[in-house]
Amino acid sequence: MKKYWRCFVCCDIHYGVKPPEICPTCLVKNAYVEVSSEEAERIMRPTKTSMTRAEFRQAIERFAEKNEFQVCSDETKVETLFNGMFANEQNHGLKYCPCRLHTKDFAEDLKLVCPCNFIVHETYKGKEDGECWCGLFVRRKK
């Protein structure tokens, strides 16, 4: 049966029948101990960032620059979406998409954290004018 294992040196989490003999992150030998799924989830749970709006803007610009999409050019819309994401982080813990409601199923809700994996969504995939669910990212014009 698969279990959760935690490296007691660097807190790396491994899920499997057996733990790795050598931790792939800190390279310490025989460092894994078994932990409960609750503890594993607590360690893996993303935490609030201390990112300012300007830093977040920079981060998503960098994320978009090497890709086929860009940040929406409508600044008012971006401002609205940022208001939503930062309010969601404040009130609900993470920068959830302001255009979809979280379900309270943590694994499911991680899919709503911005930037989400929108390239597989119906609003983007295969569409010339594709955009993410909320419209923060839009396909770059050719």
Partner 1 sequence: MSKLIMFHAKECPHCKAMMPHVDRLEKEEKINFEKLEVWHDEKNADLMRSYRPVIAPKCGGQLRTPTFFSPDTSAVLCGEVPYEKLKEWALSQG
Q: Would you tell me which residues interact with partner 1 (CB under 8 A)?
A: 77, 80-81, 83-85, 87-88, 91-92, 98-101, 103-104, 112, 121-123, 133-135
Task: In angstroms, give the least distance from the CB of 137 to partner 1.
Answer: 13
- Count of CB atoms situated within 10 Å of the CB of 39: 13
* Phi and psi, residue 15, nearest 5°: -115, 115
Please give the helix or strand (H or E) that residue 7 lies within, else none.
strand 3-7
Task: In angstroms, give the least distance from the CB of 102 to partner 1.
Answer: 8
Task: In angstroms, give the least distance from the CB of 122 to partner 1.
Answer: 6
User: Quick one: 40 or 81, whose CB is closer to partner 1?
Assistant: 81
Q: Which tokens sit at 78?
A: 């971006």
Task: In angstroms, give the least distance from the CB of 117 to partner 1.
Answer: 12
User: Quick one: 43 or 87, whose CB is closer to partner 1?
Assistant: 87
Place of tokens 């959760």: 4
Which residues, 6 or more positions from 10, have their beta carbon under 8 angstroms from its beta carbon? 23, 25, 26, 28, 31
User: Quick one: 19 or 84, whose CB is closer to partner 1?
Assistant: 84
DSSP letter, residue 15: E
